[in-house]
Amino acid sequence: MSSFYGVELKSRLLLGTSRYPSPAVLERAVKASGAEVVTVSLRRESGTGRAGQAFWSLIQSMGVRVLPNTAGCHSVKEAVTTAHMARELFDTPWIKLEVIGEADTLQPDVFGLVEAARILSEEGFEVFPYTTEDLVVAERLVEAGCRVLMPWGAPIGSARGLNNVYGLRSMRAHFPEIPLVVDAGLGVPSHAAAAMELGYDAVLLNTAVAEAGDPVEMARAFALGVEAGRAAYLARPMEPRDMAVPSTPVIGKAALGD
């Protein structure tokens, strides 16, 4: 069971809600994934609009917890304003904070991210920052009030998996008490399993499920990958070796003469 800002969750898979072929497919995928938390981007259209209301009603009917995000924000002011709107609309202090700094990779602007995190934390938000695996940035985010860190695995929507395993492993070792979530870049269930084998508390993904040939089956597959990776981590895997070690005992082996 994982815990984020005092909320305990059975599922370690957080799922995004955009880019699905239809609302019905989204609903079935969320159910198949077992996810208890879904991310929702605050659209710039009115929250009372008919399309927005229908989507919000669908999310509410799923019985999941909503993690609004500031997707598409490129400045501190834009991210903070969007967070305020999200809190009012979705009635939650949770916010997935994105401050994008580079258009091609969608890499976070870590300077703006820390500033926005500090402002929002002081205003009572419970911030889930989308960040890099940089330990200095992570320290600044924790100092700013973040009690969860969400380093990327790879650029959003790239499906490249874990680009910097060393960095992610170092972050886990450096912050043993902070819940860590690999967010972005995962493409297949084995990527999620690898993240969980590093000791991460959860993974967050969207595109890999939404754009799969069968989103519902892919959601189910990711749920199994997360479960397998967590079980493997708890089982304490053996360390890699440089030399072969026979799996069959040689003691008692018959000695044959020439």
Hey, which residues are catalytic here?
96
Q: How far apart are CA 126 and CA 16, in angstroms?
A: 18
For residue 230, which phi and psi values (nearest 5 degrees)?
Answer: -65, -45
For the chain, count helices (H), then strands (E). 9, 10
Tokens of 68: 């609004």
Q: Which residues contact 166 (CB under 8 A, 6 or more apart)?
A: none
Displacement of CA 207 from its chain's centroid (Å):
12
Query: What is the per-residue burial (b if ≥16 Cβ within 10 Å, else e) of 47-82?
Result: eeeeeeeebbeebeebebbbbbbbbebbebebbbeb
DSSP reduced 3-state for 202: strand
Q: Which residues contact 48 (CB under 8 A, 6 or more apart)?
A: none
Strand pairing partners for 90? Answer: none
For residue 217, which phi and psi values (nearest 5 degrees)?
Answer: -70, -35
Query: What is the per-residue burial (b if ≥16 Cβ within 10 Å, else e) of 138-167?
Result: bebbbebbbbbbbbbbbbbbbbebbebeee
